[in-house]
Amino acid sequence: MSSTPAQRRSLALSRAPVPEEDERAIARFLDALWAESGVAQATLESYRRDLEGYARWREGRGGGLAGADRAALFEYFAERTREGYSPRSNSRLLSTLRAFFAHCVRRREREDDPSALIDPPKLPRSLPKALTEAQIDALLSAPDVATPLGLRDRAMFELMYACGLRVSELVNLPATGLNLRQGVLRVMGKGSKERMVPLGEEAQHWLERYLAESRPHLAGKRALAPLFLEPDGEAPTRGRFWRLVKQYAVVAGIDPRRISPHGLRHSFATHLLNRGADLRALQLLLGHSSLSTTQIYTLVAREHLQKLHAKHHPRG
C-alpha cells in the first residue's frame, strides 16, 4: 500500500536528528519532572516523543524549541490536523508543551509561555465500554484452566476484574505486591502512587491455584520478580494482554470489537456503582487522583438505567 505525501513527510521528520540544544533542554525538563512529581517512565517517554517531534519540525523552519512562538505553535497544530492527527492526540501534545514552557519560564530560560493562550481542541465525550455481568462471567470462564497458561490467564482476568486494575498495573505486578493472608493487593499506580485494594474470595481462590499449580511450572527453578509470567520468564506485555482479551472474547461469544484492554477495569467500576458503591470509595479503589475522573462512570450507570427503563417500563 502506497503512503501519502503527508505520511512520507512525517516519516522523514521522525528520522531527523533532534538539535543538540533542544535535546539538552528536553532532558533537563524530564529530569526535573521526574524529580518533582515522580512521573511514570511511560509518561516521560510520551513527553519526550512529543517534544522531539516539535523540535524536529521547528528545526526544519529555521528555529527550535527556544525560538517557538504562538504563531509557530498554531502552524504546527494546523499541519497536524491536516495530516489526520486526532483531537485527543493534539490535546495531549498541548499539555506536554504547556508543561515544558512553564518549566522554561520557571527556570528563566524564557520570559513567556507561547502555549498559554492556545485553547485545547474539543474532545468528543467517550464513555468507558463496560461488559454486562453475564459477559464478564463468560469471559472469566473462557481460559482452559487445565493448562498452566490458561490457569494464569484466569487468575489475571479475575484479579483485574476484582481490583479494577489498569493493564499496566496488572502486567507489572511484582509477586511481593500480593498478600494472600490479608487478602489485599499493593498496587503502584500512576505517578508512583501506591494503593491497597481488597482481592475478594473468587480472585484469591484463582490466585492461590495459579501460585501453587501454574507459576512454578512457568518459573522453573528461577526466582522471578513478576507475579504473572510468560514461558520465557518475562512478564506479559500490554500488547500480549490485548491479544488475550480479544482471543478469549471470541471464545466467550463477545464481539471482540466491543471490548478493550481496560474492559475489565471499566466493568469493575460500573458494576460496583450499579450495586450502590460510594463514588469516593470507588475513586480510592481505582487510584484516581481526581473525583471528576471517577464521575464518568456515573454517566455509564445512568445510561444503563435509561436503557433498562426504556426496555421494561410500559411507557418507556
Sheet holding 184-188, edge to edge: 178-179, 184-188, 194-198
Q: Helices H, strands E: what count in the chain? A: 15, 3
Quick one: which H or E segment has residue 311?
helix 296-312
Region of 305 please: left (phi>0), alpha (psi -120 to 50) or beta.
alpha
Cell numbers for 181, please give them. Answer: 493472608
Nearest to 55 by CA among 46, 40, 67: 67
Nearest to 292 by CA among 280, 309, 310: 280
Asked whether 198 and 277 are in contact (CB, 8 A), the reply is no
The position carrying cell 512457568 is 218
Look at strands 184-188 and 178-179 and give their pairing.
Answer: antiparallel
CA pair distance 132, 307, nearest whole angstrom: 13
For 79-87, which contacts have Cβ atoms below 8 Å and span 24 or more sequence positions?
A: 82/6, 83/6, 83/7, 83/10, 84/6, 87/121, 87/122, 87/123, 87/124
Cell numbers for 156, please give them. Answer: 489475571
Question: Which residues are marked as active site?
Answer: 166, 190, 262, 265, 288, 297
CA pair distance 136, 49, nearest whole angstrom: 36
CA pair distance 31, 55, nearest whole angstrom: 18
CA pair distance 50, 94, nearest whole angstrom: 9
